[in-house]
Structure 1
């Protein structure tokens, strides 16, 4: 069996320290990793030599990430395909719950469905890849709206009246703002008959390698199957599915 090289592991440990801070000193690296001073010095010199780290101007014992890391990250990101990866994860989630699973993106005030995996039940959601719906009426749309900056959300809400799809749709902009705050806090959105009176839906956000919210994943089911027993199970399924798709897109959850 191939041997893991300790020096490479330590060098990678140093680079990963910069995930949650833009600059670090040699002393901070030593303290965070609890490594000998000489070892850290040699590793830092090597990383600087290859430009994976660069000294901060005017502060030669402080370092920040260098351009080769950006180039590697960009090469990785460029090979990711949201639709392809989403289809893989959505199939797994649909197999676990036997309900419709969607992945959608925000386009202005609407959501557009990129992926759909249907259930095997005869009674199921009527939807299609490429379909466009008002974001504020859907679970996927509401989770995506909750990720917008205030100015971006203002631009969406001031384009005109919010049209309702059912009597349950939220059409008042201020009520929607308050609702989106709850969605943002919970990290989940639900559609309780707001886009289709006979359907229920729960959605979670999908993030890319930069942490940006780029899509949303949902589980949808007819009201006759949306019981208090299965709702928490499906909620965890969609949360885990969205997290799994985010990981495939290069997202790393923040360290605690």
Structure 2
């Protein structure tokens, strides 16, 4: 039914913004025309309109996402108090464990990173805000998938599970076993399944009043983990999830 109400200008704008958001450097108009399969005349009209509204900016002979679009997008976290609740709980975790905390939502079979509280020491991360990852590959995604009713999980599960690293789960049976363990333990993990040398632990927060299904995680270099730090991190990330839920999830 959605196709019956398709508005070409909106769809084309969406395609342009998705391409720009996926690239780390400015994208030239010719490349956008090819990626979005748009005539140059149509493309330039849309680019001019978006640039006037500061949804995009011209840089180095190409285009990037603009400041106004970032400001509009940040409202997603403010509507139900999720941003404030996350930063309060995550700051306490960083003070205790000195490790990064990430917040993400489930969108289809993707995890979308919404917010991050950085630690006071560097760590190589793949969790830029707005980044998407296949849910089966990361601890956040496993925590979110495990929270779904069985019929909804089955509907979202793709036929093929792509690998991000050679440790990523690519077998549906094994994934279901792991999700069962997540439900029992209230904790998900990935062992270098998204990035070599990086271990992640995640806990499900809940579904906000506006329907955001969210979870939190911490990512720690494997060579920094000993039993005591692992225990502190896993207990701590569960506490972050509970603290956020108490602030934003009715009846939590």
Residues 168, 193 of structure 1: 8 Å contact kept: yes
**Structure 2: gaps (5+ residues):** 1-77
Whether 1:148 and 2:148 are equivalent positions in the alignment is: yes
> Does the Cα contact within 8 Å between 1:125 and 1:222 map onto a contact in 2?
no
- Residue 24 of structure 2: aligned partner: none
Check whether the contact 1:100–1:117 (CA below 8 A) recurs between aligned residues. yes
Q: Which residue of 2 aligns with 1:164?
A: 163
* Structure 1 gap ranges (5+): 1-77
Pair 1:88-2:88 in alignment: yes
Contact 1:142 1:180 in 2 (8 A): yes
> For residues 89 and 213 of structure 1, what CA distance do their matches in structure 2 show?
18
Superposed, 1:1-256 pairs within 5 Å as 80-157=80-157, 159-208=158-207, 214-253=213-252
Q: When the two structures are superposed, what TM-score results if normalisation uses the length of structure 2?
A: 0.64
Does the Cα contact within 8 Å between 2:167 and 2:192 map onto a contact in 1? yes
How many positions carry a matched residue from both structures?
A: 174
Distance 2:225 2:212 in 1: 27
Deviates more, 1:142-151 or 1:126-135: 126-135
Instruction: Please say if residues 207 and 251 of structure 1, whose CA atoms lie closer than 8 Å, have aligned partners that are also in contact.
Output: no
The structure richer in helix per residue is: 2
User: 1:159-218 deviations in whole A, cap 9, x for unaligned?
Assistant: 3310011111111111111111111111110111111121001111102467x8821111
The 2-side partners of 1:235 and 1:195 are apart by 18
CA distance in 1 between partners of 2:93 and 2:197 (Å): 22
3-state SS of paired residue (2:227):
coil
- Higher alpha-carbon Rg: 1
- Cα pair distance change 1:104/1:176, threshold 3 Å: same
Runs of 4+ in 1 over 6 A off after TM superposition: none
* CA RMSD of superposed structures (Å): 2.0
CA deviations 1:82-124 (Å, max 9, x no partner) are 2332122222212221111001010011100111111222344
